[in-house]
Amino acid sequence: MQSLIKPTRLLIFLFLLFGGLYYARTVLIPLAFGGLLAALFSSLSDRLEKKGLSRAVAALLCLVCFVLVIAGFVLLIAWQSSDLFSDIAGIKERVNSFIDQARQFISTKFGIEPQQQKAMLDKQSSGAGGVSSTVTKVLDTLMGVAVDLILMLVYAFLLLYLRNHIKKFVLRLVDKDQRPETLTVIEESSQVAQHYLTGLFTMISLLWVMYGIGFTIVGVKQAIFLAILCGLLEMIPFVGNLTGASLAILVNLAQGSDTQVLLGIVIVYGIVQFTQTYLLEPLVVGSEVSINPLFTILVIVVGETVWGVSGMILALPALGVVKVICDHVDPLKPIGFLIGEEDRKKSPGLADKFKKLFGKS
């Protein structure tokens, strides 16, 4: 019985941890994103403070720059998508044509008449509350997103402004002889989040360029808009890149593009993904979050289960911080070893050669 105590305690701890994360997600998700933003801008805020600005002004200036950049992206997407919305009537006509063909196929194969299919869909729509219910849900979702964005910015500002105070609080929780090690953990955790986000944004920018050039060459309509969309979806690991390519194919299919353009999208997607996997990710993002593939996939699945899409975005940097903590706490070092990548000698790959060429260690 004694041998079952520790595993039982671990299972109870994990159950309470993930249960708490799930039920407190409305509070914790904007706080977690705010923490990532604070880690991203902490170095910039320090440099602004050294130039004579107060901490509050420096933090506010960082967030104003962030909001202006996001607003610029939104305006760019709106501008590039104007042609798409102007052709909405033609897209709707082609989509209705596809739906009619699908209904005829179902009628031929399964004997369900198109009128019957329409009646079944209308019945399901009315049972779900109809169009008004759908519009209400969309408005509620948009309102929730807006509130979360505001809270995220408020949390980021407060965490930037109070970062030294929070650091002192954490140091007071440990014994004096453990404070140097604790300070190292805090600094490395902040650097992991900062370097991961900086590398991710750099990689997304490079993906915009590659997708934009590739889509333009193969004749994709609204190439810049779809390139920006595909790049932004890369923030969602594994799922985002496939979703972006699928949306590009569906949009061009709905617009009546020929088979050569659709095949070109697939070829561009394959080339970009090869370049991203074997060059951009090792070279730009690097090994700041050195997690082995098993726990990379596992933490993304768990993140999606607990926090949805937000959990998938936050999963890798959060696990990277957990690994830093485990690597500096003796009882947790085996867990840090299990999560991390295995150190093994190997011949330098393409990314390693580029790092050496540009002087990156």
Q: Which residues contact 218 (CB under 8 A, 6 or more apart)?
A: 260, 261, 264, 265, 267, 268
- Residue 126's pLDDT is 53
Q: Using an 8 Å Cβ cutoff, are 215 and 230 in contact?
A: no
Q: pLDDT in tens for each of the 361 residues of the chain?
A: 566 777 788 788 888 988 898 999 989 999 999 998 998 898 889 999 999 899 999 999 999 999 998 888 888 777 766 666 666 656 666 666 767 777 777 777 666 666 666 666 666 555 545 545 656 776 777 787 888 889 999 999 999 999 999 999 998 988 888 888 888 888 888 888 888 888 888 888 888 899 889 988 888 877 888 888 888 887 777 677 778 788 888 777 777 677 888 888 889 888 988 888 777 776 665 555 677 878 888 888 898 899 988 888 888 888 888 888 888 888 888 888 888 876 654 444 444 544 455 455 4
Token pair of 129 as six digits: 């509350």
Quickly list H helices, 111-129. 114-127
What are the CA-CA distances from residue 116 to residues 98, 221, 247 (Å)?
18, 36, 30
d(CA 344, CA 354): 20
- Residue 347's pLDDT is 43
Which one, of 251, 67, 30, lies nearest residue 144 by Cα? 30
Q: DSSP assignment, residue 276?
A: I
- Residue 1's pLDDT is 59
Going 274 to 280 to 281 to 283, the CA torsion angle's sign is positive
Q: Using an 8 Å Cβ cutoff, are 155 and 31 in contact?
A: yes
Residue with tokens 């944004």: 201
- Residue 358's pLDDT is 47
- Residue 111's pLDDT is 66
Whole-model pTM over 0.85:
no
- Residue 351's pLDDT is 45
